[in-house]
Chains A and B, each alone.
Chain A
């Protein structure tokens, strides 16, 4: 366990370097870009000192890492609010959105994929495949507005945007979840079809088990295993897709915080958001890997 986390260290270090480098990629003087042309010399020096930009690069990096280890992300250059506080407010909202979207994706994608595989070649399969291919080609910044137009504006079932009521999560979560469900449908179908051709399924049928038992006890167990990895990988797209979705629906999560900070040129906040999302992604992938090992007896011994 500890060994597995040790292999993550180089990646974590690299991620830190890259996010640290972001501020230095700003063309010209980052302080000028952030404060604008009209800022006074005193303000510039103050910000420079606050960001540690007057120090040598290595010292800056050392301080950056040390502060992060203490949970100190610095402060927003506009409001002077500690960034950790902003993250604490935004992160749960994004997490909630991602979890609900994942639940939607799984509860639509897996049953449709199973049905599609069982009816392979029939019109149901063709229809589901056609729909899922089309759904997968709809980026969040189009699916979101369409859902908003139909369900919030025309039908008035849900609020247009914001986080005012409990049902407000439905549309942003659907935006993220429907795209995911399209991918999961295709994956489940492929995986189940492969398994249904295996010898042990024929054996199960030959010994007189009902189709239902064959499916539930033998086929699905093996077929759904690869989905664990897919779900882990897709969590990354969910986190990144949340940037667009949260912007469309005014959902106050990490994605919106990121976009806001970019618009205000509040680069320390931008850096922090990028870092937090990247770390979450690394951890999720590590967790998926461990779940997969635990579920699949073939890899458990290794």
Chain B
């Protein structure tokens, strides 16, 4: 499990680096060679505009990595700050912040991200914005729950009685104890951010043509499924391998850091 996860992640990283070293032309159109089956020239065949599928898959994973890392970093920072303050300060501020997260939780799954992306307009920046606007909630809830419990710990009480400021207590005495649980949460949520990015691009709300993204490629691939089934299959298999590797990586991380995660599936 662990080796599979590491090997797959390493493989995709290597592929991205190699892609840059070789110099890809993912947007090069060749109308004489559309929807071709895999050959020695195009290892994974070509798409409906004669572009090399392999090159586009590689550029797609790069975009996917980029979006995922940025969104995870931003949502974690926002969620962490809100959760820390709510959990540590308590009282009315906590109640208000938690009411806010409850409102966001009332929208199932990606619905809110779809809605935000729809009104903000397509494009990679708005895609990231839409995912950030909706993704912080889980981190906020998790951090709040944890800091609520940690607030009662002896070392926190000791620091408080020595006159440490709230900010100091939160950053130096509570935050370090949250690192492992947040890392595990981040690992799992990276997979869902990746799926969300692809879903939005699939719906035409994310990365715009001619730039490659897995979601947009799948959307095209479905249209040409009858004549070029290899297109949809290769893109799908790539996507699945990466998501599986990230999820299993999350499991490994969880066991290693000994975190009892709420998620078990």
Contact = CB atoms under 8 A, between A and B. Distances in A.
Contact of B106 (A140, A146, A186, A278): A278
A27 B126 CA distance: 11
Contacts of B112: 18, 274
Interface string B232-256: 1101100110011001100000000
A137 B244 CA distance: 6
Nearest to B95: A10
B106 A134 contact: no
Given A141-B198, A243-B111, A14 B244 contact: no
A137 B243 contact: yes
Contacts of B243: 137, 139
A280 B240 CA distance: 30
Contact of B247 (A10, A22, A26, A137): A137
Contacts of A236: 108-109
B203 A259 contact: yes
Contacts of A149: 225, 229, 232-233
Given A146-B232, A149-B229, A247-B203, A27 B111 contact: no
A206 B218 CA distance: 56
A190 B264 contact: yes
A281 interface: yes
Contacts of B205: 262
Given A137-B244, A139-B239, A22 B108 contact: no
B222 interface: yes
B203 A244 contact: yes
A237 B112 CA distance: 12
B114 A145 contact: no
Contacts, number: 142
Contacts of B202: 141, 244
Interface string B214-238: 0100110110011001001101100
A145 B218 contact: yes
Interface in A115-160: 133-134, 136-142, 145-146, 148-149, 153
A263 interface: yes
A258 interface: yes
Nearest to A134: B244
A148 B225 contact: yes
B109 A237 contact: yes
A241 interface: yes
Given A183-B265, A187-B264, A240 B225 contact: no
Nearest to A279: B106
A141 B107 contact: no
Nearest to A10: B99
Interface residues of B, number: 47
Question: How big is chain A's contact interface, by range?
Answer: 35 or more
A145 B240 contact: no
Nearest to B109: A240
A73 interface: no
B115 A141 contact: no
A139 B241 CA distance: 12
Contacts of A25: 116, 119-120
A65 interface: no
Contacts of B226: 153
Interface centre among B112, B205, B219 (most CB of A within 10 A): B112
A153 B229 CA distance: 10
Contacts of B111: 239-240, 243, 274, 277-278
Contacts of B247: 133, 136-137
A94 interface: no
Contacts of A237: 108-109
B204 interface: yes
B236 A145 contact: yes
A154 B211 CA distance: 31
A225 B250 CA distance: 27
Interface string A54-96: 0000000000000000000000000000000000000000000
A247 B199 CA distance: 11
Given A22-B119, A141-B199, A141-B218, A240 B244 contact: no
A145 B202 CA distance: 12
B127 interface: no
Interface string A17-47: 1110011011100000100000000000000
B85 interface: no
A134 B241 CA distance: 9
A27 B121 CA distance: 8
Given A18-B104, A187-B264, A237-B108, 6 more contacts: A25-B120, A141-B222, A149-B232, A186-B264, A239-B108, A241-B109
25 contacts: A11-B102, A15-B107, A17-B103, A18-B104, A22-B115, A22-B116, A25-B119, A25-B120, A27-B121, A139-B199, A142-B218, A142-B232, A142-B239, A145-B221, A183-B265, A187-B264, A187-B265, A244-B202, A247-B203, A262-B203, A270-B119, A274-B107, A274-B112, A274-B115, A281-B107
